[in-house]
Structure 1
């Protein structure tokens, strides 16, 4: 390990809080920026860039060392140290699985799980080709680091990174280069804000059984690694120091180190997009400073802020796109927003059955876009860097539908109302569903609001008459979510409707040359859904003539 990286990690032990933070805040001239605006000034002038609102669909790869275990939920690095996971039941298999597969966490801990991650079949170009050409993704984002504090890039300030340990590859660097090659905006995601509490179980011990009271490997020191594969690495830079030794000065130094890591990530790899976890700015002003660096860089490179930051800021912030995890808005949002979705856990796991199939994810995409949102689908890679075969079947079906119907998705806007015949009820994401999405109890309680409220493949089916709308240029697109042969009535498209549609000139089913029969009266539009349709999923009709100049 080179001396630069050793000195970067040493910051955690030595530097004082206030002086270093002030130096970080004023050091943005190191990035040769022409302007250096405050976050408030940047946020006030921010407008969501056109590339984002036109894209409508993106792919995320939530992939890292925690993908190695086949069981144990998406918070494996936490739950492998917990005999009793309490209400975080999605992680109940982690400890027994780890004990059986790797050994006791007093000796074989998360650091060793990282060592097992080889990414031996990882090919960024192959994945980006599939995501863009087969799935139809218009932007792409990759996990930079999770709550586990492990950096998936060539990190100067964190020795526990994917170049030094595990794959011995710059995962973010390879994805960044590939995204540029395939011409799609590239994003990174950061989840490290929970670190202080999230990793505490690594300092515990079994409370029963043959290993009772034997400390877990979070309490090992750099000296304990002599003669072992991790010789030269300090566990304290991965897990932190024992909780009883943590001082306010140490915690400040840790946040400062996080800021250095984030500034490097956001400048070295030139992302267009940043997604962050949590319910506010990560580490308060430190997160705000990282975001400020990101937008200032974009402003000076493009002459305007051409980047996007998405996250869950309570009350909102004009500089941040509102993100809804495993959920949707109930009506059209005046501002662009984003929904993120995954099949099981965010990391690939076999603990639970698939929550989604091609049909449910297509319906989610449609519903989100009809309400002025973007839909991001997580592809849960195997630890070797390939797509699970059962997931690929679903993705292929999704991609084929989008390739056929992309004109009704990309570059579209909402109509005056997002849908008609809104009879289907959103299935509540009960605690079981919320656990499958890696939520904690507080997230489960939020499941009756926007977060964690999306429909799954097991939700009650949409009625055959329920539709969603988008518009582009002079066309109104109408999505029949769960089509069946026969007539459907759409009151919103009646000539006397409050939405003031014009007399419809023609309707065609995208992907079909068959005549579509319809009758528009004052009260309703009667549309005949054909028996023969080009896809088994949502049927998309292009309606001409219904829009007036104001639509």
Structure 2
């Protein structure tokens, strides 16, 4: 029997797969090689931008406003911050020095070995999701894989390098998904592994100086190199994906950002690599039925060199319609054109829009670094609840959602400083959530001096914290039913605030104002309306978390 007939015979009776014309990806019975390409579920959406532009953001997402994210995987084990698996291979970088001191030289102890020592022995997904729901999160997201390429789920196509076979030997996504379901939260997954191809190129390097100069790091190791090692029988290339020529200017550590769009001299990924990413993601969707997928990509993953991301989106949207009778799925992506924003939800990383967006969007940010950083904990460098709430109120006024990451330690727990921030957020949300959940943007998003000093977006975002801080003259608006919410972003020092957007006879609000309440307490407040605006008198007693004070105006 020739190889093609053997592969076809192996596939007989296996539902949901097609045989690719190229036979190059996965070993079978130690001798045959087969490449299954998962089917796209039939439905109204096709894998084209034109078809996907018929997407409509579901109301659950628009109403939720506030989600929380466990951006947690093996890169949290060293507790040295984000992009550890890339930067540990950069000679001279502090993470390289840290790695050598803690684990040994990356020619001997590479990232595959970090995965091996990651045990997640204090991970309690139910307890963390319960905490996040109690403080006001209305959806929850978990990392499914990062650029380090380890799948944190029962992965059919990353069958050796996943969290059930390696490290914790636990189904991380399965645990998070069960906890989210128990607490009635929509469940999201974040998928970052499309860029492993170029991101991990640092693992192909070697030291340029010192006693080990010229000794290659472990990024080019293959299965045959594992004899007598803990990973004997495994192929590190299934993880590192570095059996390829380096991209142009790969030694320039910043080049990865310029090549994120799969251009500017990046070595093109093979079809087998792209197909494997596609299959892994379809498998993730089919096994765990997430409500939302966050892609750490410009547009859909692999675009514009492949339509793999378009195929994933069509499958996900069609599956949502089939399973739930309506489209309730959400996909987020970055750096989108106006037309691309019609096909998915625009995500802004660590930043926010400076105007009301016509379509729903999301900002994702973190109270610290994306992966856990012990140094930040020691410096007490986390964002405060005040900063997070100010961001949330501003984002919601502009038709957005906030996805907040709380870094998780390698062992699966969060530290006491993080917990205190989370609990403080909960105090405000319990008192003022009515002004957030289920709201929509008003005719204008707000008023006040901070907006005049706001910073423009750069790349996928990154304008948070670059403008002026919010104060008592900064007010943000949102509406729900017949109520207008005006949130004053500090407690007024003189006991009153003038809302200049609401003068008598205002075109924005021509109706009579009958009532102004402090949402946190339900207290009716004295007010005056004249040609200058609406003057509201605050009570003497400040409620808890009075750094943002929502007023309900009817």
TM-score by length of 1: 0.85
Distance 1:169 1:38, change over 3 A: same
Task: Specify which of 422, 426, 434 is matched with residue 395 of structure 1.
Answer: 422
- RMSD (Å), alpha carbons: 2.7
Distance 1:34 1:476, change over 3 A: closer
The structure richer in helix per residue is 1
SS of 2:37 mapped into structure 1: helix
Cα distance in 2, alignment partners of residues 369 and 447 from structure 1 = 17
1:55 counterpart residue number: 64
1:75-154 alignment runs, 5 A limit:
75-84=83-92, 92-133=93-134, 135-154=135-154
SS of 1:361 mapped into structure 2: helix
2:334 counterpart residue number: 312
> How far apart are 1:348 and its partner, in Å?
0.9
> How far apart are 1:242 and its partner, in Å?
3.3
SS of 2:109 mapped into structure 1: coil
Cα distance in 1, alignment partners of residues 124 and 131 from structure 2 = 11
Residues 197-242 of structure 1 show CA distances to partners (whole Å, capped at 9, x for unaligned) of: 1111111100001111111111222122222221221111111243
Cα distance in 2, alignment partners of residues 78 and 50 from structure 1 = 38
Cα distance in 1, alignment partners of residues 192 and 334 from structure 2 = 12
Matching of residue 491 in structure 1 with residue 500 in structure 2: yes
2:512 counterpart residue number: 503
1:338-353 alignment runs, 5 A limit:
338-352=362-376
1:536 counterpart residue number: 545
SS of 2:434 mapped into structure 1: helix
Task: Specify which of 458, 464, 472 is matched with residue 464 of structure 1.
Answer: 472
1:548 counterpart residue number: none
How many residues are aligned here?
Answer: 503
> How far apart are 1:536 and its partner, in Å?
3.1
Distance 1:424 1:313, change over 3 A: closer
Cα distance in 1, alignment partners of residues 546 and 410 from structure 2 = 31
Are the aligned partners of 1:477 and 1:540 in contact in 2 as well (CA < 8 Å)? Answer: no
1:213-292 alignment runs, 5 A limit:
213-244=214-245, 251-284=270-303, 285-292=307-314
Are the aligned partners of 2:76 and 2:372 in contact in 1 as well (CA < 8 Å)? Answer: yes
Distance 1:181 1:483, change over 3 A: same
Cα distance in 1, alignment partners of residues 479 and 299 from structure 2 = 34
Matching of residue 299 in structure 1 with residue 321 in structure 2: yes
1:451 counterpart residue number: 461
2:443 counterpart residue number: 416
SS of 1:492 mapped into structure 2: coil
> How far apart are 1:61 and its partner, in Å?
0.8
Are the aligned partners of 1:512 and 1:533 in contact in 2 as well (CA < 8 Å)? Answer: no
Are the aligned partners of 2:25 and 2:34 in contact in 1 as well (CA < 8 Å)? Answer: no
Task: Specify which of 516, 538, 548 is matched with residue 525 of structure 2.
Answer: 516
Are the aligned partners of 1:343 and 1:356 in contact in 2 as well (CA < 8 Å)? Answer: yes
Cα distance in 2, alignment partners of residues 201 and 387 from structure 1 = 30
SS of 1:338 mapped into structure 2: strand
Are the aligned partners of 2:331 and 2:345 in contact in 1 as well (CA < 8 Å)? Answer: yes
1:12 counterpart residue number: 25
Are the aligned partners of 1:149 and 1:192 in contact in 2 as well (CA < 8 Å)? Answer: yes
Are the aligned partners of 1:153 and 1:162 in contact in 2 as well (CA < 8 Å)? Answer: yes
Query: Gapped runs of 5+ residues in structure 1?
Result: 5-9, 85-91, 429-445, 546-551
Residues 253-291 of structure 1 show CA distances to partners (whole Å, capped at 9, x for unaligned) of: 111111110110011110010110121221231111111
Are the aligned partners of 1:143 and 1:188 in contact in 2 as well (CA < 8 Å)? Answer: yes
Are the aligned partners of 1:323 and 1:339 in contact in 2 as well (CA < 8 Å)? Answer: yes
Are the aligned partners of 1:424 and 1:461 in contact in 2 as well (CA < 8 Å)? Answer: no
Are the aligned partners of 1:13 and 1:253 in contact in 2 as well (CA < 8 Å)? Answer: no
Are the aligned partners of 1:42 and 1:295 in contact in 2 as well (CA < 8 Å)? Answer: no
Cα distance in 1, alignment partners of residues 460 and 474 from structure 2 = 21
Distance 1:403 1:513, change over 3 A: closer
1:327 counterpart residue number: 351
SS of 1:493 mapped into structure 2: coil
Distance 1:12 1:82, change over 3 A: farther
Cα distance in 1, alignment partners of residues 146 and 459 from structure 2 = 25
Cα distance in 2, alignment partners of residues 13 and 201 from structure 1 = 25
> How far apart are 1:351 and its partner, in Å?
4.1
Are the aligned partners of 1:333 and 1:372 in contact in 2 as well (CA < 8 Å)? Answer: yes
Are the aligned partners of 1:61 and 1:141 in contact in 2 as well (CA < 8 Å)? Answer: yes
Bigger shift: 316-325 or 93-102?
316-325
> How far apart are 1:540 and its partner, in Å?
3.0
Are the aligned partners of 1:426 and 1:455 in contact in 2 as well (CA < 8 Å)? Answer: no
Query: Gapped runs of 5+ residues in structure 2?
Result: 1-9, 12-22, 248-265
Bigger shift: 225-234 or 162-171?
225-234
